[in-house]
Amino acid sequence: MLGTGLVCCPVAGPISDALGRVKSLSALMMALIAAGAVVLFILPNATGFVVFSALSGVAVGANASFMQTISVQALPDARDSARDLGFLNLSNTLGGAGASCTAAAMIGHGYRIMFLTEAVIVLCAAAVTMTIRKMR
């Protein structure tokens, strides 16, 4: 995931700039993350893990670039950008902590169910991203 992510992150920004479609590309990458999670749910073996890692690496790497663009462009007021970015960083940190808590709660239902849960949560995030009105 790290290898594909490192390649895709710097490539994705210029692509979204050329297309002028950062929001829809971000949602597409989130759908790709969900697809990778579903693959691992269906194929809980080494092959499934390789496919999951490739899909997720590409999507997470590209989406890192898209989400930074969305974050900066969707700020409500440039005068309060430091405060707003601080809040954004806090929400990102809490999201990571929340993922650990969700996984801990789900593990009792089986290891594979965590990947299906991941897919649902990421698709919900894609839907929320598409509601941002300030950009295309």
pTM: 0.82
Say how many C-beta atoms besides its own lie within 10 A of residue 38's C-beta.
18
Q: Reduced to 3 states, what is the DSSP secondary structure of residue 110?
A: coil
Contact 3, 118 (CB under 8 A): no
Q: Which runs of E-coded beta strand occur in the chain?
A: none
Instruction: Per-residue pLDDT tens, the chain, 136 aa: give them.
Output: 888 888 888 889 889 889 988 889 999 999 999 999 999 999 999 999 999 999 999 999 998 888 888 877 777 777 777 777 787 777 778 877 888 888 888 888 888 888 888 899 889 988 988 887 766 6
